[in-house]
Structure 1
């Protein structure tokens, strides 16, 4: 059976922390691929409106373009509305019955797993894979397979704030993503890549 990782999130913008998490899970579990799945509207967070769904998808595509086993999954963006993982997994399981799905979540999401929509039914549809994040307990009563990965205290919020302060993004996200952000003027970015 094909093993596929699903990495859902706002990816507003995607950064190296996302890529490291996905790569560590890919290697640890021997997955066929990891699909980055931007959500249309996250049930757990209010998202800055400065990047459209199309722009977030484009940034994901740019972030993963050089990695053959990373792909973009557009299902939640195409469906629209609030992106509940339970609804998504029901459809994906029906669409791809020969695939075993592994849903990748960070420590902060593990801590709040008990609040997820239809969590008791969801846990029957998908394998949860957890990666610790700084500042999270990463504890839950639900079955989550933990994968060791370098803990990087980096968030999309940090990057958006850095852009608004005209600071450097060197090593924080893929260069192609930074170029796109500056070209589109997202998050208050200027076209000056040096940040000066």
Structure 2
């Protein structure tokens, strides 16, 4: 079983996340992609947004009905800071017959050597970097061990971020078509990201 891991705050999840997962699913021949909202990301400032439960609810709504996508509360249940090595080690112990593919943005590829316990991590997963036209992720400068554990995948380009969605909501602008319809309804009903 080949399983893609898509971590992130998903505050909120948007169609860019879903496009990325679909692209990796097809190009890497994955059986499933697990969307894992992080509890506390190690490299981001905590900004007030949706609660962990609301972020998981939105991810669940976004992937509902997709035969290969699923939402998991694995990192939220684990608690604490979400270090990739801890999550991956636990997943490999729980699912020894699975091979995991860790999906990251093109901008994260060049920082892989700085990741916590990267030497252990590259033995456990295949990293999948999402290519971006005109952006050099620095693959050739990576140490060989990391390069050997990295697959680059193309995806349709879309200029969209969770930050942009929160900012639009704060300005009382629509985020329809930027997030799945059910997520949009959830945001409106729960008055998330309002000014």
Q: Could you state the TM-score of these two structures normalised by the residue count of structure 2?
A: 0.92
Consecutive unaligned residues of structure 2, counting only runs of 5 or more, are none
Q: Distance in 2 between matches of 1:32 and 1:89?
A: 18
Aligned-partner SS, 2:193: helix
CA-to-aligned-CA distance 1:117-159 (integer Å, 9 cap, x gap): 1111111111000102478532241222001111212110011
Contact 2:132/2:154 (8 A) holds in 1: no
Superposition pairs for residues 33-48 of structure 1, below 5 Å? 33-48=32-47
CA RMSD of aligned residues (A): 1.4
Contact 1:134/1:153 (8 A) holds in 2: no
Superposition pairs for residues 126-137 of structure 1, below 5 Å? 126-133=125-132, 136-137=135-136
Structure 1, 76-85 or 38-47: larger mean CA deviation: 38-47
Contact 1:10/1:47 (8 A) holds in 2: no
Q: Could you state the TM-score of these two structures normalised by the residue count of structure 1?
A: 0.91
Q: Distance in 1 between matches of 2:110 and 2:189?
A: 37
Task: Give the structure 1 partner of residue 54 of structure 2.
Answer: 55
CA-to-aligned-CA distance 1:66-111 (integer Å, 9 cap, x gap): 2121001211100100000001111110110000000111112213
Structure 1, 169-178 or 7-16: larger mean CA deviation: 169-178
Task: Give the structure 2 partner of residue 152 of structure 1.
Answer: 158
Aligned-partner SS, 1:76: helix
The alpha-carbon distance between structure 1 residues 86 and 136, as it changes in their structure 2 partners (threshold 3 A), is: farther
Task: Give the structure 2 partner of residue 194 of structure 1.
Answer: none
Structure 1, 180-189 or 127-136: larger mean CA deviation: 127-136
Q: Distance in 2 between matches of 1:48 and 1:138?
A: 27
Deviation of 1:48 after TM superposition, in Å, equals 2.1
Q: Distance in 2 between matches of 1:60 and 1:67?
A: 12
